[in-house]
Structure formats: structure tokens, C-alpha cells
Amino acid sequence: MGFQDTAEEWRVTATVTPFRGKKTSVRTDEVEMPDGSVAHRDYQVHPGSVAVLALDDEGRVLVLRQYRHPVRHKLWEIPAGLLDVPGENPLHAAQRELFEEAYVKAADWRVLTDIYTSPGGSDEAVRIFLARNVSEAVGERFEVADEEADMELARVPLQDLVRGALAGDLHNSCLVVGVLALAAVLAGDGVDSLRPADAPWPARPFEA
């Protein structure tokens, strides 16, 4: 199919990084426009993230409710987290996040979809996995802190989450994209049509 996003990079004439945080930073680029003018573009530089839509044998999705200070809301989300180091295998990161946030493991993994969360203001790329054959994990539980210490966990039927997303009751981007994507997959070509868990990810290249 020819209908797809394409990589392209306009000339950057200057760049500065006025803020550096623990995990992300803010960059200002001077970008040459097609007409020859130069525009300033401010954006968040982000290491990339993974998210996991974990589906149990009863068709329920594992979700977490967590306080998100920038939007002043407690949001229902799917397990997710940052890539810890450049070039980290996203599947390994997703398995880690599922263990740390929900203390479960999964036997079957597929790539559900890849997104840029806010490409006008951030270079964050997220790979959303579908994880099935879910069971309780073994080993020492991860010690949580800060907002994560207040998290709630639930298992919710997929269609309830789809309805919530369409009704405007659920707002987390990975949850909304993930549940709508899975609903489309199940109504269409089926899970076997999804990419394997180690499929290439040009936005955040990694070694398998």
C-alpha cells in the first residue's frame, strides 16, 4: 500500500537545548522551510516508550489508574514505561513494565501498533504491544513509589473500554489507541495478522 508516513528531515540551521531533565529535555531548532525562511520549533526530546495491552483469557484488559499531575486527573491506563537506554529492545522493556506495574507475565506477544504521541511538540515514539496468555509473575515484586504507590489495578472487558474511549470518558492515548486497535483487529483480520514482537521499529532502532 502506498498510503504511509515517510521519513523526511528538513535542514536545521541551529539548535539549542535550554532545559535538560532527568529523562527528557526541551530543544529549540531553527528549521529551514521550503520557501527558504527559517522557523523556530520547540519540542520535547524523549527516549521513547512502550505500552502493553494485556488481554486475559476472558477477554478482559489489564488497566491501571494513576494520578497524572500535568493534566490534574487520575487516568485509567495500560502498563507503560520509558525505554531505559538507547537501543533497548522494546519487547524486553514491555515485559519489564508489565512485571513491575502489574506483577504478571504473558506467553504470547505481538506488536499492536506504533505511534507518535504528540508529533507537533515531542519526538516521543511509543510501541504498543498486545500480550496474551497472561499469568501471575514469579519473583520479588518491584517496590513502587510516588504516584505508582497509589495505583489501582483492574481487569475490564475490552468492549467496555472501547465504549469509554468513544464516550470521552477515557483519555490516555495508549489506552485509547490500544483498545480501538485491538477491536479493529478482532473484527477484521485477527491477531495472527499482527506483526511479530521483534518487528523492526525505525523510530527507535534496536538489536533483536
* Catalytic residue list contains 148: yes
pLDDT digits (tens, 9 = 90+) for 132-171: 999 998 877 666 666 667 899 999 999 999 999 999 999 9
* Upper half-sphere CA count for residue 112 (Cβ side, 13 Å): 30
Query: Cα–chain-centroid distance for residue 42?
Result: 22
Question: 28, 15 in Cβ contact below 8 A?
Answer: yes
Nearest Cα to Cα of residue 31 among 11, 15, 51:
11
pLDDT digits (tens, 9 = 90+) for 34-89: 999 999 999 999 999 999 999 999 999 999 999 999 999 999 999 999 999 999 99
Give the max Cα distance, the chain: 59
Among 9, 101, 136, 148, the one annotated catalytic: 148
Nearest Cα to Cα of residue 35 among 18, 11, 58:
11
Q: Residues near 50 by Cβ (< 8 Å), separated by ≥ 6?
A: 80, 81, 83, 90, 93, 94, 97, 126, 127, 128, 129
Q: How much is the pTM?
A: 0.94
